[in-house]
Structure 1
Amino acid sequence: MADWTDGDLPDLTGQRYAITGATHGIGEEAARALAAHGAELVLFARNADRAGELLAEFGGRGAVVRCDLGDQASIRTAAESVTGDLDVLIHNAGAVSSSRQETVQGLELTLGTNCHGPALLNRLLLPQVRRRIVIVGSEAHRNARLDRDDPHWRNRRYQPFAAYAASKLALMLWARELSSRLAAEQSPVDVQLAHPGFAVTNLQNVSRFEPLNALIRFASRPFSQDQVAGSWPTLYAATEVLPPTSYVGPDGRRAMRGHPTPQIPDARATDPEAARWVWNLVERETVIE
């Protein structure tokens, strides 16, 4: 559909949507739109109080689940608290760090939060998912490189944006392998990918120096879009009829802004051998107790 917006969402009454990272940015706007169209929500958030306030503000039915995607114990506890089926699970949360940090389990924070965390949550909740899994990737994957010898940046100089791009490429590759495995099992669940274009969100707060963050936000405004429009690709990927592993993003110049439409990701995000490598890495470094 040309010029699709959140106003084109169908009636979602009776459907249950789970989403991570819904307390700010495009996740908040996506959750707001889903609730406005009748969906019951399960909001995974580190800040459960804020998520509860938003759920009440949305006037939607649902539940809040405290979940820190940088802590595998928190993820397991969160998954155990979810009862009943989920129609759609949206992996929206993302993180970027200005310096190298580690998760509770000793993984590089950006990779651990953006790839390993969603993968573990997905693994635990998959038996409850009925229809679709949505992965929010990034156009940064087009310039990303996965260092197989040092995926956690232990032996090289840390570069925040390179680490973020690599984490999103890893997540997108993991999603491809997940889709292949679900298809082999003849699962009714499909996997879709989306990216928000260049949306103004708190991911641009990468510096510890707030004036620099403000300068980045100001300089990016001419070619960025607001958070509402940034949420449209996620919503489109969550609700429209699509072939498996479609990649939905804005239709404007360089896919930075505009209305959602299926796009072609870079070949590095569709490499089946690389997808298996990421899958195996995540399996080794996540633990189910």
Structure 2
Amino acid sequence: MIETEFGFSSTATEVAHGIDLTGKRVVVTGASSGIGVETARALAGIGAEVTLAVRDVAAGEKVAQEIGGKVEVARLDLTDLSSVDEFARSWSGPLHVLVNNAGVMATPERYTEQGWEWQFATNHLGHFALATGLHSALKAAGNARIVSVTSRGHMLSPVIFDDVHYAFRSYEPWGAYGQSKTANVLFAVEATRRWEADGITANAVMPGAIYTNLQRHIGPSDVDPAIIKTTEQGAATSVLVATSPLLEGIGGRYFDDCDETRTADHRDETPPMRGVARFALDPGNAARLWTYSETLLAKA
């Protein structure tokens, strides 16, 4: 179990202090707002060459200008496979850190042109396609890390393999969000199993509850003010997993408040839901999700 000196109140800058990423190349998805901005800022601040992978290039350019340093912007729409493919094909050279940060939460019912449920498509399938498309670049780095941003909301639902896209069930925004966030954890488990021989590890991180654009579809009453973090605090666990020497060669794990967290067999009745559900770390579920995801993308 990995434990650090940092915790709930730590900021991304504090976590990154003393680490040198000069010459390292990083991609952060969804880095035009929220914790993506602070993740990119902290990594650029310790020398990394950061690419902001964003849907809104103009917004990304403003962030890049504000951050300064070696920060570039590239268009990426995770629900558009041609956009994901173009991003991956245009990448040249090694990639040392991929932060799969972008996401949506509790959206109204919506589907992609392939018929994929919107949250699963955005939060998992787009990032899956991106990571697999960048595999050779990650391998070329020799010791690459993938940060898969998840949520305690994963406890709301395992991946329902028999009906991922709500063809037979009534759509439920939080259930759809939950299974997409479970998928983010399972991806880290299976990516590590498949790719650690290539020097690639992946870990899942729970950033905490932060008021950002992610909450556009929910009301303030849905979030307990006592557990709210700033965006700087929310980015801390992502930055820790991306940079800490403690995680060298470590993958397939779940981190919350800058520490690896316990496995839970029951969801807490009252917030915050602590720990990581056992089904989200199950290697059988992880392998099944990987194969299922490959099949979907092959048919797209």
2:164 equivalent to 1:166: no
SS for the counterpart of 2:77 is coil
Match of 2:259 in 1: 261
Q: CA deviation at 1:133?
A: 1.0
SS for the counterpart of 1:86 is coil
Match of 1:58 in 2: 67
Distance 1:8 1:176, change over 3 A: closer
Q: Tell me which of 12, 16, 23 is aligned to 2:25.
A: 16
Match of 1:108 in 2: 117
TM-score relative to the length of structure 2: 0.85
Paired AA for residue 27 in structure 2:
A
Conserved in 1, the CA contact under 8 Å of 2:189 and 2:253? Answer: no
Q: CA deviation at 1:97?
A: 4.6
Q: Tell me which of 181, 184, 187 is aligned to 2:194.
A: 181
Q: CA deviation at 1:125?
A: 0.5
In structure 1, how many angstroms separate the alpha carbons of the residues matched to 2:195 and 2:299? 20
Match of 2:252 in 1: 245
Match of 1:76 in 2: 85
Q: How does 1:24-173 map to 2 (within 5 A)?
A: 24-129=33-138, 130=141, 131-173=144-186
Match of 1:230 in 2: 234
Distance 1:104 1:62, change over 3 A: farther
Conserved in 2, the CA contact under 8 Å of 1:17 and 1:40? Answer: yes
In structure 1, how many angstroms separate the alpha carbons of the residues matched to 2:255 and 2:88? 27
Q: Structure 2, unaligned stretches of length 5 or more?
A: 263-275
In structure 2, how many angstroms separate the alpha carbons of the residues matched to 1:192 and 1:288? 28
Moved over 6 A (4+): none
Match of 2:273 in 1: none
Identity of aligned residues (%): 32
In structure 2, how many angstroms separate the alpha carbons of the residues matched to 1:288 and 1:99? 25
In structure 2, how many angstroms separate the alpha carbons of the residues matched to 1:234 and 1:158? 30
In structure 1, how many angstroms separate the alpha carbons of the residues matched to 2:158 and 2:178? 8
In structure 2, how many angstroms separate the alpha carbons of the residues matched to 1:221 and 1:104? 37
Distance 1:62 1:82, change over 3 A: farther
SS for the counterpart of 2:98 is strand
2:200 equivalent to 1:216: no
In structure 2, how many angstroms separate the alpha carbons of the residues matched to 1:275 and 1:179? 10
User: How big is each residue's C-alpha offset from its partner over 1:176-209, in whole Å with a ceiling of 9 and x where there is no partner?
Assistant: 11111113xx2211112211122222222115xx
In structure 2, how many angstroms separate the alpha carbons of the residues matched to 1:80 and 1:273? 31
Match of 1:257 in 2: none
Paired AA for residue 198 in structure 1:
A
Conserved in 1, the CA contact under 8 Å of 2:29 and 2:101? Answer: yes
Distance 1:97 1:246, change over 3 A: closer
Q: CA deviation at 1:75?
A: 0.6
TM-score relative to the length of structure 1: 0.88
In structure 1, how many angstroms separate the alpha carbons of the residues matched to 2:296 and 2:200? 25
Conserved in 2, the CA contact under 8 Å of 1:79 and 1:121? Answer: yes
In structure 1, how many angstroms separate the alpha carbons of the residues matched to 2:15 and 2:175? 35
2:20 equivalent to 1:7: no
Distance 1:233 1:110, change over 3 A: same
In structure 2, how many angstroms separate the alpha carbons of the residues matched to 1:177 and 1:74? 24
Conserved in 2, the CA contact under 8 Å of 1:111 and 1:167? Answer: yes
Conserved in 1, the CA contact under 8 Å of 2:185 and 2:254? Answer: no
In structure 2, how many angstroms separate the alpha carbons of the residues matched to 1:65 and 1:106? 26
SS for the counterpart of 1:286 is helix
Match of 1:270 in 2: 281
Greater relative contact order (Cα < 8 A, sep 6+) = 2
Q: CA deviation at 1:288?
A: 9.2
